[in-house]
Amino acid sequence: MSKCGYIARLELQPSISNLGYDLKLENFPGGSETFEIILKFCYGLPIAFNPNNIAPLRCASEFLDMSEEYEDGNLISKTEAFLTLVILSSWKETITVLKSCKNLSPWAENLQIVRRCCDSIAWKASRENSTTEDIANRQGWWFDDVATLGIDHFMRIITTIKVKGTKPEIIGKCIMHYAKKWLPGMDVELEGLRGYGYGKHELQFSILNAGKEEVSVGQKEQRTIIENLVNLLPHQDEGVSCKFFLQMLKMAMVYNASPALISELEKRVGMMLEDANANDLLIPNYKNEDHAKLNSPEHNTMHNIDVVQRIMDYFLMHEQQQQQKQQNMGKTNSHPSLSEHDRRRLCKLMNCEKLSLDACTHAAQNDRLPLRTVVQVLFSEQVKMRTAMQETEPALQCDNSEQGDTQPSTSIEIKNLREELENVKTRMAELQKDYSELQREYEKLSNKHKIVSSWSLGWRKIKNSFHSKADADETGNRRQTFNSTSRRTSFRRRPSLP
């Protein structure tokens, strides 16, 4: 009574045996084991604080009002000092204390024990991720410890870690690690279970028995875990894989998650559908327990087609929104989010010789294409134009000669051929201009970074030979044009036939 204000305020009643007083403590935090430790403390016996008993002792001392008002160095101050100075400075001990708070509600919450532990864990995890250079090798060191916590504490830690700016891919991997531990059967390919003919209870039983490390939670708890994990998932695409979203979707359907949650998962899958494969989309059509629907067409199919249809609809809707967004921003590029490396890999697949004129024009104006690709496109188009000119002019000359020997051609045909030749020359001149500008830009970049390579030396040789050939072709074209003009002039002066 000298150390506990709560007991001092009680009106104790003598026991039936008259050997003492009856003391009944309802909802006492920590139970009889904690009360026994407090009894030892009150009678001056030595006690040892540790991560397993510090939280119950802190809550029980608050329940009994063991403050400094009744004695200096009372249990509240001693447990608070141990909790703050010893426990919160250690990662492992903080995890242990947080686990012990599971059955101490609402005392652990009101005394800020849970909040302080969660903040300490989140701070240590986020600090380690921000200072470690090789995150890929060390990022999982805290996943196992955090995965042992209940979903409520896990959510608070991940939420705090998000606020501290941890990368989405790290948060996503931690969530996936937690899901594999608490949702047995996440890695099981559900299409291998042949969903046709399985009732939901049988399928749930199969999934639960597929986990290697069983966690003793009921179906309601697992549904709660699924819903909370989906809410925690990062919105960035790099957070988690499309395959994981599909796994969560299948688990949500097995455990009868809310329609809103299933719809959210379908949307997220639709936004990342390009990363999925055919097997991922084989979602079993779980047998409905409602006998009124036993004869429905969708019940007799092996896989759920409606889900895939909705996912495809979300995918098309997302693609249209992205295209509209790009158009509003004045960009027309079919891959705006690709990295430089991926763009180069994609452009290597193009055959520049098979591109249409419109495609070549688009390539010349697309600032996201690698410069080397644009140069190759323009070079290929220039070669095609030159070939077309060389094929057109002899044909025109031959046609004029044959028509002069047999019968005169109409002025309209001659005009059309002349306009076609001029158009070809104009297009070639435009391409030559674009080609020259890009070449000068590339040479500036090369000089700026002092890049001297065998490719650039070879390119100069190709350029010199190209211009030499162009000069020779241009001289030949002028001669052919002069001869053609002379023939056309003499053709006009002939008297018309009757």
> Over the stretch 21-57, which tens digit does the pLDDT of each residue have?
677 788 899 999 999 999 999 999 999 999 999 999 9
What integer pLDDT is reported at residue 292 of this predicted model? 40
In a domain, 368, yes or no: yes
Report the alpha-carbon distance of residue 187 to residue 180 in Å, rounded: 7
Does a structural domain hold residue 39?
A: no
Cα(205)–Cα(255) distance, rounded to whole angstroms?
A: 11
- 323 shares its domain with 363: no
- Into how many domains does the chain fold? 2
In a domain, 304, yes or no: yes
The tokens describing 145, both together, are 């410890």
Q: Is residue 188 part of a domain?
A: yes
298: DSSP letter = G
Residues 371 and 324 in one domain: no
What does the pLDDT profile of the chain (498 residues) look like in tens digits? 889 998 888 876 666 666 666 777 888 999 999 999 999 999 999 999 999 999 999 999 999 999 999 989 999 999 999 999 999 999 999 999 999 998 898 999 999 999 999 999 999 988 765 544 444 455 568 899 999 999 999 999 999 998 888 888 899 999 999 999 898 777 665 444 443 344 454 455 444 444 434 444 578 888 899 999 999 988 877 788 899 999 999 989 888 889 999 999 999 999 888 888 888 888 887 654 443 444 454 445 678 889 999 999 999 998 888 777 766 665 555 766 677 777 788 888 888 888 887 888 788 777 778 888 888 888 887 777 777 777 766 655 665 555 555 455 566 766 776 777 677 777 777 777 777 777 777 777 766 655 445 555 555 555 555 555 555 555 555 444 444 444 444 434 444 443
299 and 172, same domain (yes or no): yes
Q: Say if residue 226 is in the same domain as residue 301.
A: yes
Distance, CA of 206 to CA of 212 (rounded, Å): 12
Q: Is residue 9 part of a domain?
A: no
pTM for the full predicted model: 0.60
Within-domain flag for 473: yes
Instruction: Residue 188: count other Cβ atoms within 10 Å of its Cβ.
Output: 17
Which residue range forms the structural domain that includes residue 440?
352-493
Q: Is residue 234 part of a domain?
A: yes
Specify whether 323 is located in the same domain as 191: yes
- Six-digit token string for 165: 């700016």
51 and 97 Cβ atoms separated by less than 8 Å? yes
Last residue of a domain, one of 277, 312, 328: 328
Same domain as 396, residue 364? yes
Per-position DSSP letters for 158-171, written without gaps between them? HHHHHHTT--HHHH
Same domain, 318 and 357: no
Give the model confidence (pLDDT) of 307-325 as tens digits: 999 999 999 998 888 777 7
- Neighbouring residues of 175: CB distance < 8 A, sequence distance ≥ 6: 158, 229, 232, 233, 240
Instruction: Choose one of 289, 313, 328: the last residue of a domain.
Output: 328
Residue 406 lies in a domain: yes
Long-range interactions of 139-142: CB distance < 8 A, separation 24+: 139/170, 139/173, 140/173, 140/177, 142/91, 142/174
Both 360 and 301 in one domain: the answer is no
Do 369 and 465 have their domain in common?
yes
Could you give the angle at which helices 454-493 and 371-405 cross, rounded to 10 degrees?
Answer: 20
Residues 425 and 288 in one domain: no
Nearest to 266 by CA among 253, 285, 284, 279: 253
Q: Is the domain of 276 the same as that of 367?
A: no
* Co-location of 409 and 271 in the same domain: no
